[in-house]
Structure 1
Amino acid sequence: MTELGIGIGWRPEIADAVEGLSGIDWVEVVAENICADHLPDSLTRLRERGVTVVPHGVSLGLGGADRPDPARLAALGEKAVALGAPLVTEHIAFVRAGGPLTATPQLEAGHLLPVPRTWDALDVLCENVRIAQDALPVPLALENIAALVSWPGEEMSEGRFLAELVERTGVRLLIDVANLHTNHVNRGEDPSRALSELPVEAIAYVHVAGGVERDGVWHDTHAHPVPEAVLDVLTDLASRVAPPGVLLERDDDFPPAEELADELRAIRGTITAAGTRSAGAVGVGAAHQHGALSSKAAPRAALLIGAGARVSGGPMPSVTPEAPVAPTPAPTPTPGARQRVAVAQAALLSALVAGTPVPEGFDSRRLGVQSRALAAKRAGVVAKVAPELPEILGKGYRPAFLAYARSRPMTGGYRRDALDFAEHLLVAGRPEDPTARRRLTEWWQDRSGSRPAGRATRLVRAARHALVRK
């Protein structure tokens, strides 16, 4: 198990701040935001300093009904090789649904959605994980996700689901303690129970992030300071096992570098205190007892050896290495399992992004919250990948995009979404201001290489969208 230390999520907006933070042991980068053959200069400089870089994927959708896309797997593997990464990470989630298994148009969520904790879904997930493991050049670790909604008829707790996954596939775990807190608030799930049920010795590293509660719903924003409640879950985890790595995530509303450093110190202090109370767990906490951010500033403690690893402050007793235990072979999904999972996921995603009826057993109010959150995220991400759009449209951008999103599910990623949104406005003769409309037309033509669709094409697209909403 690779010992990583204390790290932070690398984002272009805080690249300079991350480089300036003393003692960062490693960083994590969103895999889809980089190219293997053209790494950002900041990441290159960090690697030259000996900082480990781990690619973190968000688009594989290993919890989806379809088998993993070979092209996406190849791209993730190429980035791992380019970065010299010791592992890659992804999520236990689905991000798209529909397609051939359901004979319906494929829809994109633009977000990580929860997998039902059923035996069917577990069988499908395990086979998908095996396919990914065989294709990737480095070990894979999977993250538990935060959720606003609960699936009806679930057959396992989160901890048991994760334990079964590890037993069948040997995959490592990326445990996000903020997500455990989110699921506690939103779904009434006990973080302590989840930690007691999952195989903590399989943890590759831990995520810590902030969020905010509104009207009794916890939103895992990654745009707020880490609250005490999340640090409490981290304390619980660190009292059970010394995590090989802990990483602070921040994806928006970035604070000054001093505040990021303060949060890293709070995380380190939490781990150290938990290790002290449990007789000093081996790993990150013991390696940084004096508050320094870098493993280079204080000698690294012994490597983690398992769930029961402890240290009294002196040298570890000698341990005879055990032969690695092979995972239990993952069974092939039972006949029809993929199709059953596909139908259920497509019905949920269609309700969230295409306005179709809420599937039986789901909380309609909570699905409404999730649906609005997905639309808001779409608007925000499109504004980032195509910043010219809010510049051209001004204050009218957000209401116009949300109105568009209510009747236009995303089918091809955020860049395609930006082009489709601009085309939608132009076809409708908007914006009304001639100068803004001319600028939007030029922007659209520069990127699409053609003119807005004619009447026949618009009728075909309208029919397609009508079918999606049925």
Structure 2
Amino acid sequence: MAHLGVGIGWRPEIADAVERLPGLDWVEVVAENICPGHLPASLHRLLDRGVRVVPHGVSLGLGGADRPDAGKLAALGERAVALGAPLVTEHIAFVRTSSPALEAGHLLPVPRTRDALDVLCENVRIAQDALPVPLALENIAALFSWPGEELTEARFLTELVERTGVRLLIDVANLHTNRVNRGEDPAAVLDAIPLDALAYVHVAGGVERGGVWHDTHAHPVPPVVLDVLAELRRRVEPAGVLLERDDDFPPEGELEGELSAIRAVLDGGPADLGARTTRTTRSNSTTRPAPAQTPPAQTPPEQIPPEQARTRVGLQQAALLSALVAGTPLPEGFDRQRIRVQGRALAAKRASVVAKVAPELPAILGGEDAYRTAFLGYARHRPMTDGYRRDALDFAEHLLIQDLPADPAARRRLTLWWRDRAGTRPPRRIVRWARTLLGRAA
């Protein structure tokens, strides 16, 4: 694997600061946020300096029951070629279901079962065949566990690598998240996974609220996450380590300080990290839930016909996602409190991304608080089905159908905004009434 060094996630909000960071070896970009033919000038300047750029996908949903979308795979490959990237990365997660058609708007954990592993492995092979460069997959942060899981996290990742040859992107912040939320020991995971398949490492910040760790990418990297990085460094020298920050961006000096802290851990090496490891264990003793029960070792069963596995996984994922975003009954066996937390997190994420996609909406509605209140009310009854841009249009149309905003001037501005983007007139009053009645009946 190519040596990458220490890098940072490139975001438009901190593009100038990223270019000025001393000793920067590489950056990672969210693949869906760039266009191969129209790369931002900042990325061109970084490439001209010899800084590597790696595209990081968030929308493939390789852990979903459906086979990967050929168009999304082609788009990811185009970005890798345009950037001259040595690899592309994605997540071990599902993000949508096709029956019913629902979008989570964020990464959700797959059940660690034989069915889900079979589906994931086939999806990974399809992606590998379609992509022009190697693929690495990231372990995700989870707020909840699936009932009836058959494999540990380490066994799931190990068999995925053994069956597909895919490389791993290990996020040490996600290992810490899953320690707090699911009782999974990061050291035990690192001991059991094939670190010779490691492509690179993510480091990020988060925050704990009410005994639940939220992987926000909007907070400084805490010592406990650096401790997990140190645990990994004791076992292997990673080819690359990357700092992620997606929101609430700090001053340039703080970003530089976090990168320096990461370099210090990497330079410490195996001999200097014993005290750091001990401190990690103590620091989490008050918040860690009871350790997750380790499923017994099992001999892999005979290969299940993929379509049968896909059907079962699809039904499981659809039932869960529908409960999270559409208010249908939650399947048995899930922790209801954790699912409520996850549902709120999905809605908040959706509101935040729509505000970034359509920044005019908060201004039209009178500010961030008024926008968020209106959007969360809309989201309770309208699951996302076709991406964030469509969601922004549907939200605006929903408001107009309800004769909102109450201020006529704001309503006129919203009407013009909607018309410019939808390419048609807002629905007439009789159509609005009909849609409202149909919605109530549904």
Query: Normalising to structure 2: TM-score of the pair?
Result: 0.91
Question: Equivalent residues in 2 for 1:91-110 (5 A)?
Answer: 91-99=91-99, 105-110=100-105
Higher normalized helix content (fraction of residues):
2
Q: Which residue of 1 aligns with 2:417?
A: 443
Q: Which residue of 2 aligns with 1:391?
A: 363
Q: Which residue of 2 aligns with 1:373?
A: 345
Q: Which residue of 1 aligns with 2:279?
A: none
Q: Kindly indicate whether residue 155 of structure 2 is the aligned counterpart of residue 181 of structure 1.
A: no
Q: Secondary structure at the match of 2:24?
A: coil
Q: Tell me, which stretches of 5 or more residues in structure 1 are unaligned?
A: 100-104, 280-329
Number of aligned pairs? Answer: 413
Q: Which residue of 2 aligns with 1:313?
A: none
Q: Which residue of 2 aligns with 1:352?
A: 324
Structure 2: distance between partners of 1:23 and 1:465 = 58
Structure 2: distance between partners of 1:34 and 1:271 = 31
Amino acid aligned to 1:347: A
Q: Kindly indicate whether residue 150 of structure 2 is the aligned counterpart of residue 155 of structure 1.
A: yes
Structure 1: distance between partners of 2:380 and 2:351 = 11
Q: Which residue of 2 aligns with 1:303?
A: none
Q: Which residue of 1 aligns with 2:65?
A: 65
TM-superposed CA distance for 1:271, in Å, is 1.4
Q: Which residue of 2 aligns with 1:327?
A: none
Q: Which residue of 2 aligns with 1:197?
A: 192
C-alpha spacing 1:466/1:349, structure 2 compared with 1 (3 Å): farther
Q: Kindly indicate whether residue 379 of structure 2 is the aligned counterpart of residue 405 of structure 1.
A: yes
The RMSD of aligned alpha carbons is 1.8
Q: Kindly indicate whether residue 140 of structure 2 is the aligned counterpart of residue 142 of structure 1.
A: no
TM-superposed CA distance for 1:276, in Å, is 4.2
Q: Which residue of 1 aligns with 2:309?
A: 337
Q: Kindly indicate whether residue 400 of structure 2 is the aligned counterpart of residue 426 of structure 1.
A: yes
* Contact kept? 2:401, 2:432, Cα under 8 Å: no
TM-superposed CA distance for 1:273, in Å, is 1.2
For residues 117-170 of structure 1, give each alpha carbon's deviation from its aligned partner in whole angstroms, at most 9, with x where no partner exists. Answer: 000000000000000000000000000000101000001111110000000000
Out of 205, 212, 221, the residue aligned to residue 207 of structure 2 is: 212
TM-superposed CA distance for 1:230, in Å, is 0.5
Structure 2: distance between partners of 1:223 and 1:211 = 7
Structure 1: distance between partners of 2:61 and 2:440 = 24
Structure 2: distance between partners of 1:231 and 1:278 = 11
Q: Which residue of 1 aligns with 2:298?
A: none
TM-superposed CA distance for 1:331, in Å, is 5.8
Structure 2: distance between partners of 1:333 and 1:383 = 43
Identity, in percent, stands at 73
Question: Equivalent residues in 2 for 1:242-321 (5 A)?
Answer: 242-277=237-272
Q: Which residue of 1 aligns with 2:292?
A: none
C-alpha spacing 1:373/1:201, structure 2 compared with 1 (3 Å): same
Amino acid aligned to 2:240: G
TM-superposed CA distance for 1:453, in Å, is 3.0
Out of 149, 161, 165, the residue aligned to residue 166 of structure 1 is: 161
Amino acid aligned to 2:363: E
C-alpha spacing 1:273/1:466, structure 2 compared with 1 (3 Å): farther
Q: Secondary structure at the match of 1:336?
A: helix
Structure 2: distance between partners of 1:459 and 1:413 = 25
Q: Which residue of 2 aligns with 1:13?
A: 13
Q: Secondary structure at the match of 1:24?
A: coil
Q: Which residue of 2 aligns with 1:234?
A: 229
Q: Secondary structure at the match of 1:437?
A: helix
C-alpha spacing 1:220/1:388, structure 2 compared with 1 (3 Å): same
